[in-house]
């Protein structure tokens, strides 16, 4: 990744951390999941309103580090309007990206702004921060419940 692109991605993460999108309760939510990263103290409650087979609305509440908040913010924007199958496929793509080798190529076309978080794979402890919201999404799509990064498969 070029230096200019890495800097742009870093700025995107900072922007989403400082001003997270969709950090709110969702009126009429019909899917909810709780997530925690006990090592870092990140906590998230993810709420979805699913209409038919689509994510009609999504929001999160909680607290966490800059990477955790930015990841939740970017994730909510990415899954809004997607079908449940598309959202689950995006989870798989994101999970593959953050857990792959640090020098593995990242498909910006497939992941868009989410590729900004690819750099965390060089820092294994930060992968849990970036993936917390995604594991929580995966739980919500499966019907709800609670997840912990200590029990989630990296």
Average pLDDT over residues 22-43: 96
Is it the case that residue 85 has pLDDT exceeding 70? yes
Regarding predicted confidence, which is higher, 27 or 107? 27
Question: What CATH code is assigned to 3-148?
Answer: 3.90.1010.10
User: Where exactly are the structural domains of the chain?
Assistant: 3-148
Regarding predicted confidence, which is higher, 135 or 123? 135
Residue 32: HSE in the Cβ half-sphere, 13 Å Cα cutoff: 10
The pLDDT, as a whole number, for residue 152 is: 66
Other CB atoms within 10 Å distance of the CB of residue 125: 10
Q: Helical H runs in 80-123?
A: 84-99, 108-111
The pLDDT, as a whole number, for residue 153 is: 56
Q: Residue 138 has what DSSP assignment? A: H
Confidence of residue 93 (pLDDT cuts 50, 70, 90): very high
Structure tokens at 111: 């992941």
Beta bridge partners of 31: 48
To the nearest whole number, what is the mean pLDDT of the chain?
A: 91
Is it the case that residue 63 has pLDDT exceeding 80? yes
Residue from 84, 67, 77, 52 nearest 18 by CA: 67
Assess contact for 136 and 44: CB atoms under 8 A: yes
Average pLDDT over residues 61-85: 97
- Cα(146)–Cα(37) distance, rounded to whole angstroms? 11
Confidence of residue 29 (pLDDT cuts 50, 70, 90): very high
Prediction pTM value: 0.91
């Amino acid at each position: 990744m070029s230096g200019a692109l890495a800097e742009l991605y870093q700025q995107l993460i900072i922007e989403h951390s400082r001003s997270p999108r969709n950090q709110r309760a969702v009126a009429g939510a019909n899917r909810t999941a709780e997530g925690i990263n006990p090592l870092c103290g990140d906590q998230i409650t993810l709420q979805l309103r699913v209409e038919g087979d689509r994510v009609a609305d999504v929001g999160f509440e909680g607290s966490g580090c800059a990477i955790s908040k930015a990841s939740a913010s970017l994730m909510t924007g990415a899954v809004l309007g997607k079908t449940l199958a598309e959202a689950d496929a995006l989870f798989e793509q994101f999970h593959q990206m953050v857990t792959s080798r640090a020098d593995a190529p990242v498909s910006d076309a497939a992941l868009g702004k989410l590729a900004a978080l690819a750099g965390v794979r060089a820092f294994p402890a930060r992968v849990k921060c970036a993936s917390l919201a995604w594991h929580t999404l995966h739980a919500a799509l499966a019907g709800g419940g609670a997840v912990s990064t200590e029990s989630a498969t990296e």
